Structure 1
């Protein structure tokens, strides 16, 4: 009987919101109204259930659901005709982002092109590379001095004036779309800066906005949470709370003191963030990178990461997007255990996700000259649901954390703690025989945790090679880079190029002289794009020229190989510890990918009936009568298509 009355109450609430939407669109074009109501009918019941699960203990839950309905209606009403046409095309082809033509690039606007107008002027360069997905790092208004590279957002509706205006951003989004390039922006949804209007009003004592954050009069509650929480930036400060005057309270600040965690326990915060999210969607943004997704929900006695409610928040945001901006997709950013990373990837959560595990294990395999940990991880922690895709990358704006699964390491007799220490030493240049010149990041004396910073070229050995004027050393470095990027292009998903890697950009140590950057060694791998160097590289027959032409060639080939975009892969035995091999196949055929992670020539054995057949390497064009026994050059990558 109780279930009967609960179901009736649920139906009344959904019906009330639908009637509210019908009234909103009264007098509006029929097609506009009918399209919205059809999607509302599809997703509102699920959205209601998700929000009720999160906020059933909030007496005003129904009022917030009504407010959310208004936000969804207003957003759809404001969505341009062109964006609605894009919505329809993507609804008709929901896997539009899963094809081999998808190739990504990421950059800071100012460091790559100066400002938004500069990005528009460089579209032809992106097309030269074959880029169809452009991620612009945080570009919204943020504090001038300390802003965590833009991740302390002060307004979701104002562009950093040094970069341009919202109108220019909207114009750029349209221009990119005209040229077949999807726009990706960060939606920093875990926190705002202390300069955001909401935080400023909280500082003034406005109760409604103090409830947008976690504010405490004393240390009683923070001290109950603190023992279970991870410290993200231990070199900057210890703990997860900071005292702010005003408002004369302790503020939950997981990352930096100036980044105030949003209180999603308050349904008004969810409604407000949906409003900001849909504002960005209506500018023409195709993907939103959800930042720090594991941290959005707090429960005492837990680590406050990866809680079920954090997943429900994403599902609810996704449902809102499906109703009011159905062409919008989400990208997950979660640098956590590999199983927790995968848990955020689903059509009803984040449709794409960074693949930090493969990234870390590519570097691990280069350091050890062994692929066994990479193989073990691919076996159990790579497959994704249909309708989703990995974002495979070699480097990003962030540090490298060794996010492999300790249980995978233990299976192979590897001590995870000791192995991470080795990798940190190797890539920070402290291990004998290393080729890398990396920089330490955020050493935690409590648990000896540490991460590594550096550009791809410097970590891969090109900086040392150029310093020594050793052509062979530099050639090996370039081969390492091409090997890693080639695997990102062929393993399955969307490859992501950190712009500047294609010309072998080295570490920029000048960050240490900048007052606002010197405490954050990640700036060592965020140099300005050297356009003069690009001119030289175009004419260069040496290492950097080989790198530039090699990456462009592989990106061009990838567009014609649909198997490379498929999620699944089948690993193949190679009978050599340094060689990884896997098969990518679909109804149009198969391609075998073989990669040598050693600086020595090796022979791989691939006993398999199909390996006795003739193949052609798509990269070099070389024909092989059989591939059962393969001689591989140092760091060689083969894309072998069966003839």
Structure 2
């Protein structure tokens, strides 16, 4: 913590190994780009590296042993057949202690990465689903204590499951101690946040900015009486953006990461990574300085806790997302990034019954550098943002897809339109099963299996969103809660239906069929020799634009995924006849929304 760091000295700096020398050199270069013009730059670096060395010395021995093993196992987090699983603790298991009791369920699903959504102590009342953090060193008291979090991390690790936590690094709650100290005029926290005092200056900034929540929280600034000015609030008025132009902010957030890593957290989802730096006259997203911050975080963690990975939450256009891997392995930023482009395009392809948008998305994502890994997903706690495809999918198509998933016209989907800047297609809310038409359409479960079968076939790590494994549908009860009623994303943040989970091995239920299907996919990829997260998924035309064909070149042969995006049965050309790894049957046709996996010489 900031107060503790101030008392450290260079006496904590140990001798460097060659690996550490390179990492520290990169971090110092990044810090020089950010803060090099300051007269106290040398003292800043000394203070930061003292904290890193202290964290390294204090790291528990079992975690140091894990670090050593992982240094020899690149991309250890991308083990075949070990998907991620994302949920809210209070919706999944009520408490952190209760979550320990669910580990057998996670094991039965083959989970390797467990990602609970924000659980650090939030502000009271509306907290944007936990993304308004009031204390990074405590957990939400509704969920338990910090000791409970450590116990959960230990229990997961004992079952070969890694705990991944959200760190909201762009902003804090207005109620955070840093914000209170800033408001009180404490010089130690001067410039922790960004304030403008006049409407004219605010408008000068706003000319280049885009609203994240144009309906529920328009603008990027909020007037605060106590601050006597407009505070920068990219998201909601109670979420105050941190000012990384102040190196004490960088140090404070690094301290959070180091403390959590030494408490047993094995991966961090860095929320809102694109927004970390502000420059007047720019859109204040994806700026070079934000990348310097992430490279420095990655480098310092690689010294103190090298077995920990970073996941970039940057839901941007593909060109911007690719930057969060870093230009090459020696300039690494985040180890994983959300593969948002194919996810969004996949829903578009399903809406149209045509594969072209998904094929193009896969072509574009091949630009990923070899050292990076995609996190592949079907749904998450957020909305589907159609504008992620702008520039190569025309706006008319985006609007048609948005309207379909909002249930307009002759639609199979049961979703809701969210919000978007004026003139852009509204985003989409809804559980995957509901968007696929489970419960309302004869092909609903086939569509759900199709989108997961495609997602599992891609290079990277597949992530299951809580309830998808049981074909759980929308939770409309959120409208009965005054604190959630206006936040449509609660539609797809349901309470876990444990009665469905108890019947997960029954083949006569949607839940049982979906759960068994995912287990089959896990088993297949775990038993394909040399299945590699770095063998890129490449699409190719097979003469029918309703069929998505994905090839991955593996040492033992070519893995091929064939998916019928339409509601019509389709004959396959003779060259594509083969043996389906999922059903173990010979395949010559694809039924409506049918999918097959094959291995070819």
TM-score normalised by structure 1 residue count: 0.88
Measured after TM superposition, the shift of residue 115 of structure 1 is 0.7
Moved over 6 A (4+): none
In the alignment, structure 1 residue 478 sits paired with structure 2 residue 478: no
* 1:597 paired residue number: 565
* 1:86 paired residue number: 66
* 2:455 paired residue number: 488
How many residues end up aligned between the 2 structures?
A: 589
Distance in structure 1 (CA, Å) of the matches to 2:485 and 2:220: 22
Structure 2 segments unaligned to the other structure (5+ residues): 1-7
Q: Is the 8 A contact 2:362 2:538 kept in 1?
A: no
Written as runs of structure 1 = structure 2, the 5 A alignment for 1:72-471 is: 72-346=52-326, 347=329, 348-409=332-393, 416-430=394-408, 432-444=409-421, 446-465=422-441
Change in 2 beyond 3 A, CA 1:539/1:571: closer
* 1:24 paired residue number: 12
Measured after TM superposition, the shift of residue 594 of structure 1 is 0.7
Distance in structure 2 (CA, Å) of the matches to 1:319 and 1:599: 49
Q: Is the 8 A contact 2:335 2:373 kept in 1?
A: yes
Distance in structure 1 (CA, Å) of the matches to 2:580 and 2:367: 26
Equivalent position SS for 2:440: helix
Distance in structure 2 (CA, Å) of the matches to 1:383 and 1:100: 22
Q: Is the 8 A contact 2:316 2:388 kept in 1?
A: no
* 1:620 paired residue number: 583
* 1:8 paired residue number: none
My pick for the range that moved more, 147-156 or 533-542, is 533-542
Measured after TM superposition, the shift of residue 433 of structure 1 is 1.6
Residues 232-283 of structure 1: CA distance to partner in whole angstroms, max 9, x if unpaired?
0111132110011212221000000010000011111111111111111111
Q: Is the 8 A contact 1:329 1:351 kept in 2?
A: yes
* 2:547 paired residue number: 579
* 2:472 paired residue number: 505
Q: Is the 8 A contact 1:600 1:633 kept in 2?
A: yes
Residues 339-398 of structure 1: CA distance to partner in whole angstroms, max 9, x if unpaired?
111221244111111111111111111100001111112112334222321111100000
Change in 2 beyond 3 A, CA 1:567/1:405: farther
Residues 289-348 of structure 1: CA distance to partner in whole angstroms, max 9, x if unpaired?
011111111111111111111111111111111111111110011111111112212441
Equivalent position SS for 1:341: helix
Equivalent position SS for 2:531: helix
Change in 2 beyond 3 A, CA 1:237/1:99: closer
Measured after TM superposition, the shift of residue 408 of structure 1 is 2.7
Distance in structure 2 (CA, Å) of the matches to 1:387 and 1:101: 20
Q: Is the 8 A contact 1:360 1:403 kept in 2?
A: no
Change in 2 beyond 3 A, CA 1:117/1:284: same
In the alignment, structure 1 residue 642 sits paired with structure 2 residue 594: no
Equivalent position SS for 1:154: strand
My pick for the range that moved more, 275-284 or 207-216, is 207-216
My pick for the range that moved more, 77-86 or 549-558, is 549-558
Measured after TM superposition, the shift of residue 599 of structure 1 is 1.2
Equivalent position SS for 2:207: helix
RMSD over aligned Cα atoms = 1.9
Q: Max radius of gyration: which structure? A: 1
Distance in structure 1 (CA, Å) of the matches to 2:563 and 2:321: 25
Change in 2 beyond 3 A, CA 1:207/1:248: farther
Q: Is the 8 A contact 2:416 2:488 kept in 1?
A: yes
Structure 1 segments unaligned to the other structure (5+ residues): 1-18, 26-32, 410-415, 466-472, 625-629
Distance in structure 2 (CA, Å) of the matches to 1:38 and 1:130: 38
Equivalent position SS for 2:399: helix
Written as runs of structure 1 = structure 2, the 5 A alignment for 1:46-57 is: 46-57=26-37
Change in 2 beyond 3 A, CA 1:324/1:565: same
Change in 2 beyond 3 A, CA 1:341/1:606: farther
Distance in structure 1 (CA, Å) of the matches to 2:187 and 2:295: 28
Q: Is the 8 A contact 1:504 1:547 kept in 2?
A: yes
Change in 2 beyond 3 A, CA 1:449/1:213: farther
Distance in structure 2 (CA, Å) of the matches to 1:98 and 1:265: 34
Residues 92-125 of structure 1: CA distance to partner in whole angstroms, max 9, x if unpaired?
1223223313311101001001111111101110
Measured after TM superposition, the shift of residue 540 of structure 1 is 5.0
Q: Is the 8 A contact 2:85 2:111 kept in 1?
A: yes
Measured after TM superposition, the shift of residue 37 of structure 1 is 4.9
